[in-house]
C-alpha cells in the first residue's frame, strides 16, 4: 500500500515533466522545419496586467506542491494541504487521469502537425485542423490540461489543489472563449461549420 501511495504521489510531477518535454520537443522540431510556433501578436491595451504575475505565483506554488514528494517541503499552511479524504480508488483514478492526459496531449500534438501555434496572430494562424482527435474535440490540448489538473487534485485531495483545479478550469474556459472569437474571425464559415459538428470539449 505504501509503495502504491508513493507511486501515486510521484505521478503528477512525472506527468508534468513529460507534458513539458512533449510540447518542447514538438515545438523545436517544427521550428527546425521553419514553422513559427509562437504566434503571439501585439498585446492590446486594456489587458489585465496583474493577471500574469498572480498566475505565475500560484503556478509556482502548484509546481512546488506536486514536487513535494521529492523535496519534502511545502510553502503552504497545513490547512491548505490537509487531505479532505484519502481513498485508494480516488488516487488510482487520479493516476489514470494523469496518464490519460499525457496520452491525449501526445495525440493532439501529432494531429496538430505544422498548425501548432501558441498565441493568437492573424498573420500566423496556420491551417484549421479538423481531423483526428480534433474531430472529437475542438480543444483537445486544453482538455488534456484539464484532465491533468483533475487527476492531480484526486491524487492530492486538499484545498489547494481543489481551488487550483477550479481556477484552472475557469481560466482555460475563458481562454477557449477568447480563442473561439479569434477563430471565427480568421476562418469564418469554415469554423462555423466545424463548431456545428464538433463540441467544445468532447
pLDDT of residue 129: 96
Question: Which of 100, 91, 78 minimizes the C-alpha distance to 147?
Answer: 100
Residue 117 to residues 121, 126, 179, 193, Cα–Cα distance (Å):
9, 7, 12, 21
pLDDT of residue 130: 96
Q: Where are the domains of the chain?
A: 2-39+67-197
Show the cell assigned to 111.
494531429
Distance CA(185)–CA(183), nearest Å, equals: 5
pTM: 0.92
Residue 156 to residues 58, 97, 141, 150, Cα–Cα distance (Å):
16, 13, 23, 10
Angle at CA of residue 166, ends 79 and 109, nearest 5°: 125
How is residue 82 annotated by DSSP? Answer: S
pLDDT of residue 71: 93
Q: What is the mean pLDDT of each run of 10 residues along the chain (202 residues)?
A: 81 97 96 87 58 87 96 94 92 97 98 92 90 97 97 97 95 94 95 96 92
Distance CA(92)–CA(8), nearest Å, equals: 7
Q: Which residues are CB-neighbours of 185 under 8 A, at least 6 positions away?
A: 122
CATH architecture entry for 2-39+67-197? Up-down Bundle (1.20)
Residue 114 to residues 37, 56, 110, 172, Cα–Cα distance (Å):
8, 29, 9, 23
pLDDT of residue 3: 73
Question: Which of 35, 34, 182, 198 minimizes the C-alpha distance to 132?
Answer: 198
Amino acid at each position: 500500500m505504501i509503495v502504491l501511495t508513493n507511486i501515486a504521489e510521484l505521478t503528477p510531477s512525472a506527468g508534468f515533466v513529460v507534458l513539458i518535454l512533449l510540447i518542447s520537443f514538438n515545438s523545436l522540431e517544427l521550428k527546425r522545419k521553419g514553422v513559427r510556433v509562437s504566434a503571439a501578436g501585439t498585446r492590446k491595451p486594456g489587458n489585465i496586467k496583474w493577471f500574469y504575475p498572480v498566475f505565475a505565483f500560484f503556478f509556482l506554488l502548484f509546481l512546488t506542491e506536486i514536487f513535494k514528494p521529492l523535496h519534502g517541503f511545502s510553502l503552504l499552511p497545513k490547512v491548505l494541504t490537509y487531505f479532505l479524504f484519502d481513498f485508494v480508488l480516488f488516487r488510482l483514478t487520479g493516476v489514470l487521469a494523469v496518464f490519460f492526459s499525457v496520452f491525449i496531449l501526445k495525440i493532439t500534438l501529432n494531429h496538430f502537425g505544422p498548425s501548432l501555434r501558441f498565441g493568437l496572430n492573424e498573420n500566423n494562424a496556420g491551417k484549421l485542423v479538423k481531423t483526428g482527435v480534433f474531430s472529437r474535440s475542438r480543444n483537445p490540448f486544453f482538455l488534456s490540461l484539464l484532465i491533468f489538473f483533475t487527476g492531480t487534485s484526486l491524487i492530492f485531495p486538499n484545498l489547494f489543489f481543489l481551488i487550483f483545479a477550479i481556477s484552472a478550469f475557469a481560466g482555460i474556459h475563458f481562454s477557449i472563449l477568447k480563442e473561439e472569437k479569434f477563430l471565427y474571425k480568421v476562418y469564418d464559415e469554415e469554423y462555423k461549420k466545424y463548431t456545428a459538428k464538433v463540441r467544445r470539449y468532447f
